[in-house]
Chain A
């Protein structure tokens, strides 16, 4: 397969995943901001959405201050934000269009449909409309993922599309967890207090894991268990360990198809081994934040290795 084709598929996967993630962050922020709390809780919720999206610096540089209006606009639509929901869907569609013949009709139509839908939605200003927009975005990513999984041949095209999604998802989960753990709780609120509790449940909701949590732990929501779920639990499809396992399996399929393993495979499976040996207690002991920072760095290094091995 042409490297350019693989690259476009990979980025289609990444951008669709990111659009979904942004919708989830915004949904959580809407929910948190609506919570009765001390002064500043709402503003904190919006600021943390910006932080979770990993765009704090660009947001500050754009001379905006965090408010419901500015954050919603910036993360969903702003033309000056190259990773807004709109920009992500546009970019996914542009990438998909350039490799249209590598896609099934169903997959192309779902991505092209998302792009058409953007225009139909416009920029909803009312909160209800905005929330409906976010639901639509999540639906779009489900449709795209469904179309690819149900209609594409299991060949390199599919693995690259999926690989992009998995790399992005690992990055997103890590950021989400870090922001909650470090930034979210305003000064004066008690750890383990009502706001704290509500924030953790919201975080679980964001990754569609509240029910999963109760099912797995049969306990009230506790931070270290949430971290365990999102970092190490292999049953949880968004956990870092699961993402890592998916990345490894896609890379191994590529290695098998091509009859050759390379640096990307070696790097990915070494990381998976680390997950298998890790315990959440140890992670907390040495610092969750440090752990996540290291993870983000390695995830990025893996993305570079994939790029160098296949995409240029």
Chain B
């Protein structure tokens, strides 16, 4: 059932599940699946899709068959993730500090300094503990028996963690007996870990009990459900920009008991919209003056401003060298082989092999602005070729991966569907921690490799076994 294409073997971690499925009544999965949808709808676990006016709130399809990762595999993954995220933080500290990695020729200067996600405003700034990407989501794919490769780092405002938690909640409700037969590591501790991490990241003056808020752009944002979910689980206020103001370089929230000083802002508003006095002047979802408070060290923003320069797809291609430079060791988790179209030789090869490659815009995200060669029409490919020739710097290309698949309920039967995995890594001055699990995204169309929820992907619960 689960494996890499061409291999007919069932991965060891799935054996218990396979046995259970064989003895389960035939329509059990479908019944549970309907039940899950009902629950999610009632709880309003929704996702807004950009440009989709018809239904601005919709459910992400949930697949009831869990994705299972063995203990040894996870141990390896966790080590790799910690190494990678530590390197990302060290990289950001260096970029906004001495820029040794540029001087040493590890990354080209222009790639960083002219990158739209590099924020000159942050040069010379040092957030508490030199932590920049407090919450990082790393997208992984399995391409063979020998493990996982990193597809993408998300260092800005990675989303999806509410699905990791809600999916687990749902599975425990639907299949209590399966949980009895497996020893599954809990993900529910994530919010406690997050709270501890945010507390540890507070400015020094805040003391033992800092005031933390979650800053959302508002109910029309695609991830609003997650923002309110997290605020709720953390037991902190969910605020919009207009709930905060800055006075005397200090951030306050407006409460019925008067202004209250805020020490940590877990912000889910992008850099560009954060402060109309520093960034886009037309932003109505930001907080005027918050960058002044930030620069004065009176508030911690998580994630820090300017982290986007580390998850840029062009910078991604340098991650193996970056990890070596900052950790002194070889990367435990490799990159997917990638052509940098900014390099003439690579560009030539990419243009020659366009129908078989995946080409991505370096600044794009969410599966928008990419070409999946094998799935594209001739016209689409030719269109993309023109874009690529006009601005090669804006693109990278990757081989079409033979992504691993996982059993997925499709109609009435189980079929193989491609999956990826986004674990969440928390960094603070107190250390780096990884929640044992993550968000497994699944491409619901047969053969499709695009797992983004905005493009019709679904999610699964992810089980990390304890033994």
Q: Is A in direct contact with B (CB under 8 Å) within the complex?
A: yes
Interface residues of A, Cβ cutoff 8 Å to B? 1-4, 6, 97-98, 100-101, 156, 160, 254, 258, 260, 310-312
- CB of A2 within 8 A of CB of B257, answer no
CB distance from B423 to the nearest CB of A (A): 27
Q: How far is the CA of A24 from the CA of B327 in the complex (A)?
A: 73
Q: What sequence of 0s and 1s flags, for each residue 241-254 of chain B, a beta carbon within 8 Å of any chain A beta carbon?
A: 01100000000011
Name the B residues within 8 Å of A100 (CB-CB).
Answer: 228
CB distance from A150 to the nearest CB of B (A): 20
- CB of A258 within 8 A of CB of B239, answer no
In the complex, besides A1-B255, A3-B255, 6 extra interface pairs with C-beta distance below 8 angstroms are A3-B243, A4-B240, A258-B256, A258-B257, A310-B256, A312-B254
Query: Which residue of chain A is the closest to B257 with respect to CB atoms?
Result: A258
- CB of B219 within 8 A of CB of A2, answer no
CB distance from A111 to the nearest CB of B (A): 14
CB distance from B240 to the nearest CB of A (A): 7
Query: Which residue of chain B is the closest to A100 with respect to CB atoms?
Result: B228
Can you name 28 A-B pairs with beta carbons within 8 Å? Answer: A1-B256, A1-B257, A2-B237, A2-B239, A2-B253, A2-B254, A2-B255, A3-B243, A3-B256, A4-B239, A4-B240, A4-B242, A4-B243, A4-B254, A6-B256, A97-B219, A98-B219, A100-B228, A101-B228, A101-B231, A101-B232, A156-B256, A160-B256, A254-B256, A258-B256, A258-B257, A260-B257, A310-B256
Give the interface SS of chain A, mostly helix, strand, loop or mixed: helix
Closest 3 CB pairs of A and B: A3-B254, A310-B256, A6-B256
Q: Is residue B291 within 8 Å, beta carbon to beta carbon, of the partner chain? A: no
Interface residues of B, Cβ cutoff 8 Å to A? 219, 228, 231-232, 237-240, 242-243, 253-257
Q: How far is the CA of A258 from the CA of B256 in the complex (A)?
A: 9
Q: How far is the CA of A4 from the CA of B256 in the complex (A)?
A: 9
Q: How far is the CA of A3 from the CA of B254 in the complex (A)?
A: 6
Most chain A CB within a 10 A radius of its CB, from B219, B232, B256: B256
- CB of B256 within 8 A of CB of A101, answer no
Name the A residues within 8 Å of B257 (CB-CB).
Answer: 1, 258, 260
Query: Which residue of chain A is the closest to B239 with respect to CB atoms?
Result: A2
Q: How far is the CA of A100 from the CA of B254 in the complex (A)?
A: 18
- CB of A2 within 8 A of CB of B232, answer no
- CB of A2 within 8 A of CB of B243, answer yes
Query: Which residue of chain B is the closest to A112 with respect to CB atoms?
Result: B44
Query: Which residue of chain B is the closest to A260 with respect to CB atoms?
Result: B257
Name the A residues within 8 Å of B228 (CB-CB).
Answer: 100-101
Q: How far is the CA of A98 from the CA of B219 in the complex (A)?
A: 7
Query: Which residue of chain B is the closest to A6 with respect to CB atoms?
Result: B256
Q: How far is the CA of A312 from the CA of B254 in the complex (A)?
A: 7
Name the A residues within 8 Å of B239 (CB-CB).
Answer: 2, 4
Name the A residues within 8 Å of B256 (CB-CB).
Answer: 1-3, 6, 156, 160, 254, 258, 310-311
Query: Which residue of chain A is the closest to B240 with respect to CB atoms?
Result: A4
Name the B residues within 8 Å of A258 (CB-CB).
Answer: 256-257
Name the B residues within 8 Å of A98 (CB-CB).
Answer: 219
Name the A residues within 8 Å of B231 (CB-CB).
Answer: 101
Query: Which residue of chain A is the closest to B238 with respect to CB atoms?
Result: A101
Query: Which residue of chain A is the closest to B254 with respect to CB atoms?
Result: A3
Q: How far is the CA of A3 from the CA of B255 in the complex (A)?
A: 4
Name the B residues within 8 Å of A2 (CB-CB).
Answer: 237, 239, 243, 253-256
Q: How far is the CA of A3 from the CA of B243 in the complex (A)?
A: 7
Q: How far is the CA of A209 from the CA of B228 in the complex (A)?
A: 43
CB distance from A301 to the nearest CB of B (A): 20
Q: How far is the CA of A3 from the CA of B232 in the complex (A)?
A: 17
Query: Which residue of chain A is the closest to B237 with respect to CB atoms?
Result: A2
CB distance from A178 to the nearest CB of B (A): 33
Name the B residues within 8 Å of A4 (CB-CB).
Answer: 239-240, 242-243, 254
Name the B residues within 8 Å of A311 (CB-CB).
Answer: 256
Name the B residues within 8 Å of A97 (CB-CB).
Answer: 219
Query: Which residue of chain B is the closest to A311 with respect to CB atoms?
Result: B256
Name the B residues within 8 Å of A260 (CB-CB).
Answer: 257
CB distance from B262 to the nearest CB of A (A): 11
Name the B residues within 8 Å of A156 (CB-CB).
Answer: 256
Name the B residues within 8 Å of A160 (CB-CB).
Answer: 256
Q: How far is the CA of A258 from the CA of B243 in the complex (A)?
A: 19
Name the B residues within 8 Å of A6 (CB-CB).
Answer: 256
Query: Which residue of chain B is the closest to A1 with respect to CB atoms?
Result: B256
Q: How far is the CA of A98 from the CA of B240 in the complex (A)?
A: 10
